[in-house]
Amino acid sequence: MTTHSVTPTDAQSRLLSRAFYLAAWRWHFYAGLFVIPFLMMLAVTGLVILWFTTIAPEYGDRLSLSPKPEAMRLTTLEEAVHAAYPVGTITRYIAPRSADTPALVMLTTEADEARVLAVNPYDGTILQDRPQAGTWNEFATNIHGKLLWGEDGGPGDLLIETAAGFGVVLLATGLFLWWPRKGESLRAALTPALSQKGRPFWKSLHATLGFWIALVLFFFLISGLAWTSVWGAKLVQAWNTYPAEKWENVPLSDQNHTSLNAGGLKEVPWALEETLLPKSGSDAGLSGLPEGLPVNLETINALGRALGFKGRYQIAYPADTSGVWTLSQDTQSYDGGSPTADRTVHVDQYSGRILADIRFRDYSPGGKSMAVGISLHEGQLGWWNIALNGLFCAGVLTLCVSGIVMWWMRRPKGTWRLGAPVAPPNLPYWKGAVFVMLGLSLAFPLTGITLLGVLGLDLLVTRLFPGLRQRLD
């Protein structure tokens, strides 16, 4: 008979492994405590946004109408709109998606109210007329990105950015906990134990579902973070913004492309938001409209057709005397189904010359990644994308609910304690695990600052109020 003795090295290795496991579990618990409400909110509002942008848009651009051989001239369509709003100022024209859907016209009324009209392109009939603000999509988007609390860079935006960073910590610790141990097979770890009952069933469901959606959740967190005001605007977008200096000898406005966003929604391509707009009134640019031809919606639309714009695309009117006509088609505005077809063209309002023509190929690598990433994030690449995003949101909700159920079953009964996993008994190992998590979190500044605060509070409570620490755990 052979006997196997446990060497000191083996024992140390097991203690180290156990200490890291306990540390990861503890940080997974506390990260989940903070992140789960945000993840559930993001999943629910994401489903609402998906419905009202891709399935049932609220501005009437998917209303069905009977197509005719030829659409009316756009100058005549403008006259029909001005008949309804004699003092209104048209700000944008959005071409129909197809021959049997309306065009959209955005205008500002005499009372400075922004409205959106769905107009029959064949006879000028206004099929739907509603305020631009106050849609369910806008409401859900404001919750999704700002918690209805402040503007970009406000408290809501900063809270969501912090939660998204902690979501990455949650993923890292979750994958560490998921990794098969104690003779468990990888195959068993990839499938939920449906035959189990009680907490083992929920634990198996939580672990396997978490593994399968981890990569997608990481993608959603990162693509969402790119819109935030600190990590996104200061660290990522600033280095991936298209440089207006590429437009040789074209005078620049003091307004950037963000000014082209309709209302509070982010519709301008991410890579162009911070790029300054060109300015009308010079001899700069390339040949566009023939000299002597009036520069109006009709001729700008004809130029767009000649340049290759088709289907749904947008024409923004000049905002002021130095502004430009802007033709655009991109997935972020829900125009097309392929981000690689993104295109933005600026035209001088006086000469009709093309001042800038930016395409997907002109974006930086980060800008290209975001153009594709945002399209996937918003479900704009077709029905398969809508279905997968809906399934993903349902998966996130299930993951959150299973985590809550596991905690509820595990918590100490009859007490007010949280029931957090115990801290590792060997403090140096615990510090090592925290160092790894801290390095990951510091990649996201707001999360890193919050984590440092939590660590400081944790140490303070441990040393000064040990009784309170026991109740919190």
Residue 192: per-residue pLDDT? 86
Q: What whole-number distance in Å separates Cα of residue 301 and Cα of residue 93?
A: 9
At a CB cut-off of 8 Å and minimum separation 6, what does 66 contact? 100
Q: Which domains does the chain have, with CATH numbers?
A: 17-53+142-228+385-472 (no CATH), 74-134 (3.10.450), 241-363 (no CATH)
Return the pLDDT at 414.
Answer: 72
Given pLDDT bands bounded at 50, 70 and 90, which one contains residue 435?
low
Nearest CA to 120 among 165, 64, 160? Answer: 64
Q: What is the pLDDT of residues 150-206, one digit of tens each?
A: 888 889 999 999 999 889 889 988 998 888 877 777 777 788 888 888 888 999 999
Residue 233 scores a pLDDT above 90: no
Report whether 210 contacts 399 (CB < 8 A).
yes
Q: What's the pLDDT at 377?
A: 92
Q: What are phi and psi of 345, to 5 degrees?
A: -125, 130
**Tens-digit pLDDT profile for residues 345-390:** 999 999 999 999 999 999 999 999 999 998 999 998 889 999 999 9
What was the pLDDT predicted at 132?
Answer: 93
Structure tokens at 201: 């069933």
User: Which pLDDT does position 127 carry in this prediction?
Assistant: 97
Cβ atoms < 10 Å from Cβ of 48:
17
pLDDT of residue 21: 81
Residue 4, pLDDT > 60, answer no
Task: Say whether pLDDT at 13 is over 70.
Answer: no
**Does the pLDDT at position 70 exceed 60?**
yes
Residues 7-30, mean pLDDT to the nearest whole number:
74
Mean pLDDT, residues 328-339 taken together: 90
Tell me the residue ranges of DSSP E strands in 226-295.
252-256, 276-278
Greater model confidence, 330 or 448: 330
Please report which confidence band the pLDDT of residue 1 belongs to, taking 50, 70 and 90 as the band edges: very low
Instruction: Please check the confidence at residue 102 and state whether its pLDDT lies above 50.
Output: yes
Q: What percent of the chain has pLDDT over 70?
A: 87
